[in-house]
Amino acid sequence: MIHARTTAALLLTAAGLLSQTALAADPAVPYPADYRSWSHVKSMVIEEGHPLFASFGGIHHLYANKKAMKGYAAGKFPDGSVIAFDLLEATRADGTVTEGARKVLGVMHKDSKRYAATGGWGFEGFGGGAADKRVVGDNAATACYACHTAQAASDYVFSKTRD
């Protein structure tokens, strides 16, 4: 009887942990650990005076995993597509603009069911590129998707590939 009760209690605890994990992890965008080895799509510098300087000032590079590279070509991104927006400080001096510290790593992760509310894309920002510093969290709809809706025709993606 004691054994049966203990087992039941353990099972309930396990079930509780599982459901908590599911609730907490479900909407979270995975940190893309290997994005620096993905294809480099394009780059751009945003300087002082630009309306997006406060959020995106610096030099940014866009990287895409293999599924996302197919998505750029197709105009529609398959589930599992991930695009990384890697924003670094840009220092202008002596006729050069050089890269500095990472400001934020932005991520778009396609999962048409999981992120149905935001165009099938999960959006996250990792402060300083740190996997545990989520700066978007539950605000993806207003902080990211609101602007990306303008790009509905290209599956909510602003960037285009180039040669």
Which residues of this chain interact with its own copies, rule CB under 8 A? 36-37, 39-40, 42-51, 53, 59, 61, 63, 94-99, 102, 129, 162-163
State the minimum distance, in angstroms, from the CB of residue 102 to its own copies: 7
* H-run or E-run covering 40: strand 39-46
Residue 65 or residue 118: which is nearer to its own copies going by CB? 65
Residue 5 or residue 162: which is nearer to its own copies going by CB? 162
What stretches of the chain show up as alpha helix (H) in DSSP? 2-25, 53-56, 66-74, 140, 146-148
Give the C-alpha separation, 100 to 122, whole Å. Answer: 27
State the minimum distance, in angstroms, from the CB of residue 30 to its own copies: 19
Look at the block and give the residue holding tokens 């990287």.
Answer: 63
Residue 104 or residue 140: which is nearer to its own copies going by CB? 104
State the minimum distance, in angstroms, from the CB of residue 126 to its own copies: 13
